[in-house]
A and B are shown apart, each in its own frame.
Chain A
């Protein structure tokens, strides 16, 4: 459907995108995740043919866009994009939604029917005569989605579509995206820095950092087996512990760290210096002793700080290396945790991930 091969983009000597190779399959929902400025929007703009890459090759279906004389308008008419800040044209919602149809010469009853159908799909049935500029942010974003979907594009690009929306509007927009996929079979590429949203909506995630693609995989792969410390940090596997692999035993690597021996389940043999990524929610705290002396993954720690994280409590620990544990409030109260207190921390070898040093 869409294929980028070593795509790069430079503006005034500054590299915005570098060596991006990526394929988006028919009917797939691909999420581009990464911090602000990582190049997600730029890649989307390139794939939507709004800008031309300065290097590499790009295919839309079987057409190589970067090859030279290509009917860009024709290709663009098969795609749609929704920006994080929706553009509002003057006039009513109906006009805003039907602009793409007008450009294709679709007018009258055909256009009216398509607009009404699409407005209903995005939950804005009856909004046609309303003045577009009087709508709320969430409604406007749905109008923008309807404007893209009304032309029935084969690919829909969403550039941070819920970045400025409240949680309720975000859910509504997400439902619309799901419907676009299920009802219309639209291929969707969405940029988001909302990791949970990426997990909820996407078949695959592509993680970007500093203009490069650093990892592509299914959401569980990205979240539980990050390929680099950078990805691990971004997806919330905030505990990154440096160590050296001491030995391998039946699919478990034993890593010597400054805080003791850590056991981590691995799929392939590893050796040398590694980083152990441990998700904070995988750590279990208890007031008892840290297991038999030297037993792996049982750490004696001291609480250094406590703060809240939504319904959970984030406990900062010193275990010979800094460690963060996320615990439920009830657990926190039961353990009566407070700074300076000794506590045991443990985690399952399957709850951590090894990142080999480059």
Chain B
């Protein structure tokens, strides 16, 4: 018990030391983690928000089945996405010529696929949950389809921001895609989660804890930022 407590305390001390001294490797891993996760979140948002808007504003056969499928994909295991993408990107796979395997670009693609269903589903749910009167008012005022979509997205912006944060949280915390597609190559594809995994397997528990604390701190900062934005917008 004491050992565990000591390791946690060591981890905290180490984390503080690594952050205060701006340890170059930690900074590099952290920066890469942020760049990859933010890129995949941005890419998924750019796809999911318009697509979700289109689904929300449309009535078609199979809409409910599609939503059910999207919601099922919320909880798809990251290793399944990693495996699928590994097969697609391997030299004999259809995406092989793109040479995405063991690259940050491949990791961005993998994380995008991972969080796309979450953002898509939550966009549809958020827009569907808006006051029906807003839809009707816009239609009656003579809004075109695209005008309606833009104005409704604006009304739903705070809920959408929360969905994007959730997506970012899933992207930054996943290991499966990062390991299988990124390969945890030092100085190239190593991110916080894969580094934690590696250091733990090597017995460097306090370094793992330090990296974990940095990961948590990042999530905290992003959430705080989102909360501030939401609070400011609602005032």
A interface, CB within 8 angstroms of B: 48, 50, 73-74, 76-77, 79-81, 83, 85-90, 99-100, 103-104, 144, 147-148, 151
Contact = CB atoms under 8 A, between A and B. Distances in A.
A107 B62 CA distance: 40
Interface in B138-176: 138-144, 147, 151, 154-155
B25 interface: no
A148 B151 CA distance: 17
A83 to B, nearest CB: 6
Given A85-B133, A89-B134, A103 B147 contact: yes
A104 B131 CA distance: 23
A100 B148 CA distance: 11
B12 to A, nearest CB: 42
B151 A73 contact: no
Interface string B80-92: 0000000000000
Contact of A83 (B137, B141, B144, B154): B137
Contacts of A86: 133
Contacts of A89: 134, 137, 151, 155
A80 B140 CA distance: 6
A50 B142 contact: no
Interface residues on B, range: 10 to 19
A41 B144 CA distance: 23
Contacts of A104: 142
Contact of B142 (A85, A103, A144, A147): A103
Contacts of B133: 83, 85-87
B142 A81 contact: no
23 contacts: A48-B140, A50-B139, A73-B144, A77-B141, A77-B142, A81-B137, A81-B140, A83-B133, A83-B137, A87-B131, A87-B133, A87-B134, A87-B136, A89-B151, A89-B155, A99-B138, A99-B141, A103-B141, A103-B142, A103-B144, A104-B142, A147-B141, A151-B141
A87 B151 CA distance: 13
A151 to B, nearest CB: 7
Given A50-B139, A90-B155, 5 more contacts: A76-B140, A80-B141, A90-B154, A103-B138, A148-B140
Interface in B98-144: 131, 133-134, 136-144
A104 B142 CA distance: 8
A74 B142 contact: yes
B155 A103 contact: no
Contacts of A50: 136, 139-140
Contacts of B131: 87-88
A205 B155 CA distance: 38
A79 B140 contact: yes
A293 B206 CA distance: 111
Nearest to B131: A87
Interface string B174-216: 0000000000000000000000000000000000000000000
Contacts of B143: 73, 103
Contacts of B136: 50, 81, 83, 87
A151 B137 CA distance: 13
Nearest to B142: A77
B113 to A, nearest CB: 33
A147 B139 CA distance: 13
B230 to A, nearest CB: 12
Given A74-B142, A87-B131, A147 B137 contact: yes
Contacts of A74: 142
